[in-house]
Structure 1
């Protein structure tokens, strides 16, 4: 019983760290221009993103592809394809699902498909920690993003910027062995917290 209690306390500490480790901060401009808006366009930017201990994503991808292909021919190439496809297939839809859920009360819609929005929000991922889960040990995924607001028709004019750091992603009860799933959940958390922040501060 004592061992179980210690284990549960340890799990609680880990999850509390995941919850309170995330930070969201307005670093430039203000959000006054969003008042009265009903729809925002969202674009995604992964250029110049670092991954784990690699400053450059391409270096990370090259190593993973080589390691997987050394293990099984073609496995690394398939892994790279999945890594890139997960953005449009998993990360972006999950982000939009959660941010819209938490903006619902403000009657605002965030959509990558919008053609009429006056303002665009660029979600620029600057860092991704893929995390891992090997059963006896695990680390959640983490992402850092810059949220840059611009006029849709004047993309060179930056109106405001929000920084979100250490947005965590993991599965309940440790069921997150898939890297794409962990990162997907980091974008879900990012969408949730950004939606709450904008609902309170902007709309």
Structure 2
């Protein structure tokens, strides 16, 4: 099979200005809830794109852990590659791809750390193994083998028992959107694509050619 010959006709739904919300957060809330209801695989998974000081972009998949009028929240190791890149350039992009619904949501904006209180609350809601894992993994660093992780997990498990504190290098980020895009696949590659951008504190909704 020639990969260039792979084709799919997108015909599940449409996205019109009349049927969409004027507020992009409401539109996102609707689409995320529909993705969850449709039981698509990992509807909370989103690709995070950052840019380093060398101007090379990098992406990885993270999980959304909250959203409201303040922005989109996820949690990670602040010393990881994405943490280092965000420290030097606090702008990023997120993308959700719900393949089964033929939908994509793209979000861009400035990133800030969540408060210590928010990070503490979420950390202590995690399963014990995940809390120990936050201590055990020197994320993005070169390690000799998986044995390093297993040994670290055993060490911190013995040290903290059932009450590991939140590591100082671990916590939340919040992307504060200034641009949203909602993409709905349509037949003949004439897809629906609505962009919301901030203009003077108000959201402007406009259609983009696919």
Higher strand share goes to which structure? Answer: 2
Higher CA-based Rg:
2
The TM-score range, normalised by the shorter chain, is: under 0.3
TM-score of the superposed pair, with normalisation by structure 2: 0.26
Higher helix share goes to which structure? Answer: 1
TM-score of the superposed pair, with normalisation by structure 1: 0.26
Relative contact order: is structure 1 or structure 2 higher (C-alpha 8 Å, sep ≥ 6)?
1
